[in-house]
Structure 1
């Protein structure tokens, strides 16, 4: 019987797979493409790219970059219909522009045993002005249904050989086959970057002789490359990650040099020595960094007269925080003006932090600016300079041998800390005299969330007592923002998260914004609302993690917390001889691989009191993808641990 069921299940699996005969070998739509209704490798997928191909080459006459794109998509569910809305962005300048030609789009359905085709009409293709540098071409495939197969193709013509066409192998839906062909004449030499960590199924290159010729007989050979990936999973965003552009599998090009047919070479790829020289004379960076500031006019006397360097630097930092407002602009190489900032009291990130730099420099503090890219902007290329990838500027101050990262744009950030958006692995320190260098951007210490409760059983069977919480690091920053922005809303939210607990006598220790930590104390009254002989009491009055943030079957990109993180929970419940403990949580002690994190739970009885302690520790800021299954299991255990109960029996 067991053998029979095994064979039966195997038969069902073969039948299911037989329903998925997608033609991923070419652009032709087959009957199997249309009749297949599932994608067993990812049952959550609402659409599937069956086949896609891109081909780029340089036009022999105009030297424009021509790219022909073909794509075949299966719409599995209604939620996948957005994949039938096609947007083609075109880049434009005042003198040149990209354009698109030969748009062909078709929807295939299977109706009453027959294949039907519905063509896109030209009147349903729209052009939309997006901004001064982009125009959008939009169209929607007609007559789509669950099970439809859509195909579309177009030719993109670009005069911008500086930006050779990049190719995304991965997207928000899975792909069976993705191919990109690049034909590059020897005149153009590019850095080629394969991003995302996924391996190519095929990577082939051949030389095509005399692919470009000019009237005087000069010619160039082409390097023709084919890149293929197969069975590419959908990219699914999840908690604890930076921007998805860091991880999407794709190929990108950065122009290094161009050589015309007369032999003249133009260099586009720069060295850091060249970049440093350019930044030194740049009106938005070097010129602003060298501007003198009227120290005595800007700062109050008590800051000017401070003799201790650390106290003086801290006071200058807090002065900039409290007197100048960041306008939320990230363009660090545009509209930077200390003069305008002093007048308007508002400016972009470069203006504010260059002012901070210059004030500290005038005060005799050793300071340097640091260029970086924020978490949402993406990781920086380190093998060669790509100055356009930087979108943020901070300051490094070194005092008595200790270095501090400073950012004056956020009044909630303490001296030596950075906004969370800046925690993106590394930055470039600008020393315009001695040359720039890479620097790690890491928080100085772990962030902690500490919760301690001392409770007693009163005569009315209520639990009452005092709660003390302390937040440090980024937990403190987030809590300060919520509290100081709206204290009433903060308290209301605190009570709403504990519907059976009444909160009174709320106080904040050191109730000032400049305090790096946030500490609060309050009393609670927990109505057990029972007259039963026994009580199932969950001792976790504060839940750190209500659900597991990790839900994917597999994660191919790092788990980026941004900073080491600690959670402490302690509760003491005085039973007052009213109850005895029948059952208590068992001790737990588990660790992540290589001791990079741990969970500990202990519960003991002492002098008619229950003592419970839990500690969750993440020692690393970033965990590689190989740690994902361990972290997923670890977090599941943390969530489950907070559901533990203590069983109490009423004493007679």
Structure 2
């Protein structure tokens, strides 16, 4: 399969020093900003970020973060993202934790020409536990109106110095002023990962005396940033907005006296009596491979083969074909163990606990799967990756902190097959969609090898309608919707989660005509199918002795989702290439014949990446219309968007044709 994989460019930049611009000076709140009723360049914008700053700095072996955000609200009903905020803090297994040290929240309104402030009461702020590692502090602004300015300031103290969290520079609304500052003692070395097309108008990298010591400071200032809107068919828009992330690559503490030890597992710096000197951290993927194999929560767990020696039934172990045996091991693991919903690259409670409780995180589930496969004489190896929500891994920007998922893999004749037991619905190479994130790394005891993590085969959707037209203009018939491969897995999992909601969202809210006998489930071949019977009087219009209708009936869509009018900024991400086949057969009543039957037609892009066929067949009083839409690959560069738009415009026009049934 010819996959068009997006090439992201992460740039470690060398920046010049600019003049007298002063960073970290919060502008005075301006009455004129409160008087504004709309954003001047685009009155449809719901909000505008007036000022935002992230200031990271390290003192006494701890990371400090000060955040200030000031946002003008033009349309409060459309700006909910900016009115309900969340601050996440992390706690490691050894009880190192981040703490919010201050939080101030205000809403500003103009009353009688003067600025009036409304503070958020302490009782309106609350903290909850999201999972074993993260807590979240939530708050909502009070007394917000169209025209208000909302502002918050908070500080966080953290022992975790390895990865400085990624900060997004661009947002879905315009930003007037944005600053990012990172001050770090000179004996820490950090990689600067700058991603995106936006350039700062002021930037500085310099060595200075700060906080009573020698520091290196990184400073970036931006102004008048255009909105970067969400786009359809993008799995994670933050992969393409401009962002900054720092990651520790080395320390070089003084040789004399005490020093500080960095714990790569927790990201914390601990006071010790160790001698100083240069030490490198995770500079290459080989270094990261070495670290995870030395970790008790990964490498040591993979050594525990004795845990699984009596788990597999002999009928699985005796399967002669390697691929069939691997698929059987996957099914065994799926039947015995359940994912607890936590993404992780390392075990939490360990494989022994998973075997006992039958529940574990993604690392525990798939590391156990690897041990089971090895027990069945299969050469299984772990694949580590970053899920869609965390961001895309690249070969040239090694990051232990980005890893949060494990898969099992087996090399069959030079081609890797991937296995994921976190879902009951997966199969070989059909893995959880959250893991389909471009790249991962096969981590063996001796090497780290980058591989593609994309769905290798197309999914097929079969939409079939068999209908009879009655003399009174009503239609009766049956409908089936069958999906294969990844689509089957996704629909099956969604249905299994909430059967009623699945049928409501996919059919009952889409089709407003009467139907009955709805059924959904997995077929014998592993496809997922929904079917129902229907009886409707809304598909045909009567004109004299003629009935006019669209031969695709309710499978005709008046619009499509490749309708973006602004220039496309992100790639087109579809999870999987696909074929979508519609087949509608119409049977006329006795004494009727067809007129104005549409003609067959097909069109495609020059490279056959997108293809469409409209085929019409008539046999007596039966008319069959078959359409096939083919999209070859799961990912396309943004330059393909005009081709998608043009093709689907033509599809909509082609499928809008009608046919006439005439009484003889």
Q: Is TM-score (shorter-chain normalized) higher than 0.5? A: yes
> Partner of 2:378 in structure 1?
365
Contact persistence 1:572–1:609 (CA under 8 A): yes
Return the offset for 1:245. Answer: 3.6
Which consecutive unaligned segments of at least 5 residues does structure 2 have? 1-24, 256-275
Residues 1:567 and 2:575 are matched in the alignment: no
Once the two structures are superposed, the pairs formed by residues 175-324 of structure 1 within 5 Å of their partners are 175-195=175-195, 197-202=196-201, 204-205=203-204, 207-211=206-210, 220=214, 222-262=215-255, 264-293=277-306, 297-324=310-337
- Paired with 1:546 and 1:161, the residues of 2 have a C-alpha distance of 53
Q: 1:500 to 1:167 in 2, by over 3 A?
A: closer
Match of 1:391 among 404, 409, 425: 404
Aligned-pair distance for 1:475? 2.2
Q: CA deviation at 1:541?
A: 3.9
Structure 2 CA distance for partners of 1:543 and 1:370, relative to 1, 3 Å? same
* Contact 1:188 1:257 (C-alpha < 8 Å) held by counterparts: yes
Offset, 1:117: 1.7
**Cross-structure match for 2:265:** none
- Give the Cα–Cα distance (whole angstroms) in 2 for the partners of residues 520 and 142 of structure 1: 46
CA distance in 2, matches of 1:314, 1:547: 41
Q: Judging changes above 3 Å, is the alpha-carbon distance between structure 1 residues 124 and 172 closer, same or farther for their aligned structure 2 residues?
A: farther
How many Å separate the matches in 1 of 2:109 and 2:503?
Answer: 57
1:77–1:147 Cα contact (<8 Å) kept: yes
Q: 1:236 to 1:536 in 2, by over 3 A?
A: same
Deviation at 1:483, TM superposition (A): 6.3
CA contact (8 A) 1:451 1:468 kept: yes
Cα shift at 1:311? 2.7
What is the CA–CA distance in structure 2 between the aligned matches of 1:474 and 1:329, rounded to whole Å?
22
Structure 1 residues without counterparts, runs of 5 or longer: 1-24, 215-219
Query: In the TM superposition, what whole-angstrom CA distance separates every residue of 1:188-227 from its partner, at most 9, and x where no partner exists?
Result: 22111123x232142533535545756xxxxx3x544442
- For residues 551-590 of structure 1, the aligned pairs below 5 Å read 552=564, 553-575=566-588, 578-585=591-598, 589-590=602-603
In the TM superposition, residue 449 of structure 1 has moved relative to its aligned partner by: 0.6
Q: Could you tell me which residue of structure 2 aligns to residue 440 of structure 1?
A: 452
2:510 is equivalent to residue 517 of structure 1: no
Once the two structures are superposed, the pairs formed by residues 5-24 of structure 1 within 5 Å of their partners are: none
Query: C-alpha separation between the residues in 2 aligned to 1:311 and 1:348?
Result: 26
Q: How many residues align?
A: 611
Cα distance in structure 2, aligned partners of 1:76 and 1:253: 34
In structure 2, relative to structure 1, the CA distance for the partners of 1:337 and 1:597 (3 Å cut) is same
Report deviation, 1:539: 2.0
TM-score (normalizing by structure 2): 0.78
- Displacement of 1:440 in angstroms is 0.6
Cα distance in 1 for residues equivalent to 2:103 and 2:499: 59
Mean Cα deviation higher: 199-208 or 384-393: 199-208
- Alpha-carbon deviation of 1:603? 3.6
Secondary structure of 2:640's match?
Answer: helix
- For residues 64 and 308 of structure 1, the distance between their equivalents in structure 2, rounded to whole angstroms, comes to 55
Choose from 369, 380, 393 the match for 2:393. 380
CA separation of 1:336/1:170 partners in 2, compared to 1, >3 Å: closer, same or farther? Answer: same
Aligned to 1:8: none
Would the alpha carbon gap of residues 316 and 438 (structure 1) be closer, same or farther in structure 2, given more than 3 Å must change?
Answer: same
In the superposition, the TM-score normalised over structure 1's length comes to: 0.79
Rounded Cα–Cα distance in structure 2 between residues aligned with 1:349 and 1:154: 33
Per-residue Cα deviation, 1:435-471 (whole angstroms, up to 9, x for no partner): 1211111222111112344555567766556656542
Partners of 1:51 and 1:556 in 2: how far apart? 24
Classify 1:630/1:258 alpha carbon distance in 2 versus 1 (closer, same or farther; 3 Å). Answer: same
Kindly indicate whether the alpha-carbon contact (under 8 Å) linking 1:503 and 1:522 is maintained by their aligned counterparts in 2.
Answer: yes
Alpha-carbon distance in 2 for matches of 1:366, 1:246: 34
- Check 1:190–1:540 CA distance in 2 against 1; reply closer, same or farther (3 A cut): same
Q: CA deviation at 1:395?
A: 1.0
The alpha-carbon distance between structure 1 residues 194 and 488, as it changes in their structure 2 partners (threshold 3 A), is closer
Distance 1:89 1:462, change over 3 A: closer
Match for residue 343 of structure 1 among 329, 343, 356: 356
Bigger Rg over Cα: 1
**1:607-627, CA deviations, whole angstroms, 9 ceiling, x for partnerless residues?**
554342222222221223333
Answer whether contact 1:257 1:266 (CA < 8 A) is retained.
Answer: yes
RMSD: 4.1
Secondary structure of the 1:388 match is coil
Q: 1:471 aligns with which of 476, 480, 483?
A: 483
**Residue 365 of structure 2 aligns with which residue?**
352
User: How far did 1:574 drift?
Assistant: 4.1
After TM superposition, the structure 1 stretch with the greater mean CA deviation from structure 2, 62-71 or 271-280, is 62-71
Query: What CA distance in whole angstroms lies between the structure 2 residues aligned with 1:403 and 1:566?
Result: 24
Tell whether the 8 Å contact from 2:48 to 2:73 is kept in structure 1 after alignment.
yes
Give the structure, 1 or 2, with the largest relative contact order (CA under 8 Å, sep 6 or more).
2
Q: 1:107 aligns to what?
A: 108
1:647 aligns with 2:646: no
Secondary structure of residue in 2 paired with 1:387 = coil
TM superposition shift of 1:373: 2.0
Distance 1:288 1:125 in 2: 44
Tell me if the contact between 2:96 and 2:159 (Cα under 8 Å) persists in the aligned partners: no
User: Any idea what SS the aligned residue of 1:477 has?
Assistant: helix
Q: Which shifted more, 302-311 or 388-397? A: 302-311
Greater mean deviation of Cα atoms: 185-194 or 434-443: 185-194
- How far residue 320 of structure 1 moved from its aligned partner, in angstroms, is 1.8
